[in-house]
Amino acid sequence: MDWIPCPCWGTNDDENAGEVADRDPVLLVSGIGGSILHSKKKNSKSEIRVWVRIFLANLAFKQSLWSLYNPKTGYTEPLDDNIEVLVPDDDHGLYAIDILDPSWFVKLCHLTEVYHFHDMIEMLVGCGYKKGTTLFGYGYDFRQSNRIDLLILGLKKKLETAYKRSGGRKVTIISHSMGGLMVSCFMYLHPEAFSKYVNKWITIATPFQGAPGCINDSILTGVQFVEGLESFFFVSRWTMHQLLVECPSIYEMMANPDFKWKKQPEIRVWRKKSENDVDTSVELESFGLIESIDLFNDALKNNELSYGGNKIALPFNFAILDWAAKTREILNKAQLPDGVSFYNIYGVSLNTPFDVCYGTETSPIDDLSEICQTMPEYTYVDGDGTVPAESAAAAQFKAVASVGVSGSHRGLLRDERVFELIQQWLGVEPKKAKRKHLRTHKVVDSEVPSSANATTDSVMESIGDDDELRSKTVSLPRRISFTILLLLLLISLSTRVSGSLDKSGRRVIEARTGQDLIWVVQLSDLHFSVHHPERAIDFKNIVGPALALINPSLVLITGDLTDGKSKDMLTMKLNEDEWLEYESVMQDVVKRSGLNKSIFYDLRGNHDNFGVPSVGSSVDFFSKYSINGQMGRKGNVNTITVETSERKHLFVGIDTTMHIGLRGPTNLFGHPTDELLSSLDSHLSQWDNQSAKPVAKISFGHFPLSFTALSHSQKSLKDVFLKHSISAYLCGHLHSRFGKNLKRHHHSGGISLSDNDLFQLNMRQSGAESTSNCSFGALPAAEFWEWEMGDWRKNRAMRIMAIDRGHVSYVDLDFKSKPQKTIILPTFPLDSRFMSTSFARHKYECQHMISSSYDAIRAIVFSHSLVVEVVARVYDSSPGFDNLVMEAPMRKHGGDSSSSGATFFSLPWNYRAFEDPLPDRFWLQIEVTDIKGRLTLSEMRPFSINGLSSKVSWTWSEFLVMGCQWAALYYPILWPALYSLFLVFLIPKCIIIVFKKQYTLKKFIVKKGPITLVLWILQDLCRMPVVWFGYMAYLFYLIFFPWFSGEVFTDSGDRAYMTIMGWVVTSSGADRKHEYIGQPDVMVVVIPHVVFVVIPSVLVVCCLVAEREIYKDHIRTVSGKKEDDHDRGRKKRSQRRSLLFSNRRLFRKSVLLASLALYWKHFKNCWALGRAYEMNVVHFPGYSLVVPLLLLYVICKTHKVP
């Protein structure tokens, strides 16, 4: 849940230099959580930042921000009476709202998640505003009430300052989120001051009528900012909950009971009812706005925390509720003074929590106090993900303009469209003015495909105007006739499949959809585990009904069917119980879905291959229990063709797991062989000269290409895919933890197909958007999309992919965060970020496209309930245009009625009206209304009729896993690291022996320089023979000898040896020859050991040696034994060094601390490897003991100084 603004900012003060522009001052006011908070002891001047901070966040939050409400004063006060909470006012108030964690680490890593008003500050500075003269900020203690004197008087003082420093100019307030409520309170309490100082008020994402879903859940369960391992580094959900229960500001954002909501917000609870000791029932109870108060009271009755050894009760606070009710009265009565212009920006197009539900029918709530430990499910409405658009747009003030902008609650503060509106309303522009776009709207008549453009010159000014536009466009009579048409037709498009073998033995499925359209489902990384039974339980309960609803032509499961890990996740080998569970669950899913088992294709992943010595062996459970194994699909390449009346759709599945399956962690990469690549080439070309119909080609496998090695002849899967210009390669393996944009566009770009690039910096290769060559016979460059999919393991992800008249699109579903009652898959136009291709652009620019595939907006809707209306909307994101430029109902297609919930809709349009050189100017969204009145919105997606592609950049983690070709990077990382270590030891030794040059501390003091420093330290290291020869011998050992011996197969008892070239194993054939396998998979052991153990140990040794010499020099100086101790300059330098190199030897102690960290890291790795391959120290003495012993020797040797 995303209701608290995240921190982050800082701007370049140099940009503020120069003459002050002739403009009114601007005051930026943050919302809840949008200000830095410091704490200090009352008798101390030292302050520490407690909000926001990345490191030790939870501890600092508990110590300083946990509070109790004082009903006598109305203030929330820290539990520790000796603590004060302050808001820094540096940089004219901008520091507190710029970057919420302005630490060096955040700025160094550019963690934009904590950049709050930062981008807006930079934008305003770029428009000529100057900090302290025309630009100010106001941060405040957001725990307090929005009408408390501390906040209100602080705002008044800030307005006075801005007014005076700008020469008596009235101020423009730009407020975000809850900051708008505080401004409303100020306007009511101090109307004269507001009229005197304020000219304009621009509010962004303000919950004028509350934020029901987010606030209700925050009061009951708190807020979890991050999940997984990262949650240990930030404020936990429970810790935040204990503060929010005592925050008046939270209570003041509860849903306004006096507002006429379209639908009253509710809290629902599945309750277990016991009529007697035996009979129990489950009921769904609903709590409205008034009834929810009793629910809060019952749920929080046992809530307490421990502070300073004392238990402190934190029930629902009725004193705060009374205070908040009076604040709501003020907010309802507030009026905008004459002469002040009001502008409102609110977020739209994101699913926003509205109703909250706790418990399920199968896991009901027994006692209401259990709610505080229960994760909720939401009913969503349109909004910014935090504040419903209905609330944010419903200000009681007359607005000059009220504009809905697609964006998240925090994202609006850095949204370019928001910046353009602010600049327009302020009457300013950046110093480097952008080209102005002509204000032209393109309106399309859905009934007449010919062009019908209309020109307008206005911005959608208010929510009332927007409602009027919608009412005119979708009139009541048309709604009624459309509904009657649906009820009369009762059409639901279904995909019935029948399979057969053609004359060549190829598997062909005929899809009778009545359209040139098919869709398939992909699942990946199930990781069924005996230690996590919920994965299989959820799969059985969710996937079977979902497939019955979707009714796909194929179901593709791309690997890692079982987990194959011990409970501590260190031992990795197959577990037959997990495979028995997989077989049972899949049988149940097939039965409940009503689909033919033959359309299910499951592939082997690396987890399904842990410790399998050969295919068909006793521990090869995949061949025994998987659907592919039971259906007799023995090969590494399997194909299936789905045929419609107009097109063939060829699906080719590939298994690139190791032919000899090692245990993890050295089983990470795909290993295609030359034979597999040849077979893949043959299967992909099977229809090339034998089909009069066009053929769409899709391949699916487990491993992304970034984690796939080359074959023996240095060929790759990418070579084959580019040769055939497949539409897409579907894969898994990486899960969702690295990011949501794990997609990559591959383009030949004139480069030899056998070349292997080490990196691809962006999702699309540079040069992929070259101008099309339309000369006769010219073909576009080869290309294909690679789409990695999220995992079922943690994220309960599913993908539906459709091919509509050759256009490939998909939608990813998240069953973890919300139920999927209605699913919308737009099939045309395509998303210009992740689905557009150069081939589509080539066809469009050369006029080779089939117009009939462009002449309508098309979508598939999957719904459990009867769909009564589907509306397509197109938005124009260009500056100067209204958001909404087209809105029209879509028509339903299909044949007879069916139990399937799949329905195809289309909307004829004049597609040429949307031609534009910008790939992301126009955005599509589809709204579905079912017979129960539930609204579902599709994700907003940009499209380009021209076939242009929007630029999407990877995050750092996404680049690491998708943009780096790790199989090719193994040796380029390893050998430079090893060569560098050799040079570190050999060069100083050669200088001593060959050139007879000695570098010492005395020489370094006389002739300073980095080279002298390095050579002095390394030569001192060379003067320790045990260390020098020890490291040299260890480096040779790492290169030429086995690192350890371990059991790499499941329960075989045989041991193999690992080297930097891979594992040395004995083949199972008659010749019993030795072979290397697992290269580059061994890099997960080799690279971390060299980079994070060996190299740091050398650095630690060098530091210890250098410290000893400096300490000796210090001792000689203070003891008077040094010959030139009369040199005053040297004595001064010695005095400056005395703190670190005195008898306390603080520098040495810090190095020893680093040594302990190194020991911990190394022995942790040794423990993990010992568990993984069933080893003890006898099996890897060189790997485990040499570095620690050398380090221990140096520590002892440098302890005493003669």
- pLDDT for 940-969, tens place per residue? 999 988 888 888 889 999 999 998 999 889
Cβ atoms of residues 215 and 188 within 8 Å:
no
The structure tokens listed for 167 are 């020469």
DSSP H/E element including 1033:
helix 1025-1040
Q: Which residues of the chain have pLDDT under 70?
A: 1-21, 54-55, 105, 107-111, 225-233, 275-278, 431-506, 512-514, 691, 749-756, 766-780, 838-839, 842-852, 880-882, 894-900, 1052, 1067-1073, 1120-1144, 1201-1202
- pLDDT for 24-54, tens place per residue? 999 999 999 999 999 999 888 888 999 988 6
User: Domains, the chain, ranges and CATH?
Assistant: 25-426 (3.40.50.1820), 440-495+819-964 (no CATH), 517-732 (3.60.21.10), 978-1044+1080-1197 (no CATH)
Which pLDDT score, from 0 to 100, does residue 110 have? 65
Cis previous bond, 348, omega within 30: no
SS3 115: strand
Cβ atoms of residues 1180 and 1169 within 8 Å:
yes
DSSP 572: B
Which pLDDT score, from 0 to 100, does residue 857 have? 93
Which residues are paired to 922 by β-bridges? 876, 943
Cα-flanking dihedrals φ and ψ of residue 172, to 5°?
Answer: -100, 120
Which pLDDT score, from 0 to 100, does residue 392 have? 96
Which pLDDT score, from 0 to 100, does residue 505 have? 55
Rounded to the nearest 5 degrees, what angle is found at the Cα of 886, between the Cα atoms of 881 and 889? 160
Which residues are paired to 787 by β-bridges? 730, 743
Classify the C-alpha dihedral 771-774-778-780 as positive or negative.
positive
pTM given for the model: 0.60
Task: Identify the residue whose tokens are 């620019």.
Answer: 845
Cβ atoms of residues 31 and 214 within 8 Å:
no
**Based on C-alpha coordinates, what's the Rg of the chain?**
34
Cα-flanking dihedrals φ and ψ of residue 196, to 5°?
Answer: -70, -40
The structure tokens listed for 348 are 């739209």
Classify the C-alpha dihedral 967-969-974-975 as positive or negative.
positive
* CB contact set of 42 (below 8 Å; sequence gap of 6+): 82, 83, 84
Which pLDDT score, from 0 to 100, does residue 1071 have? 56
Buried residues in 572-601 as b, exposed as e (16+ CB within 10 A): bbbbeebbebbbebbebbbebbebeeebbb
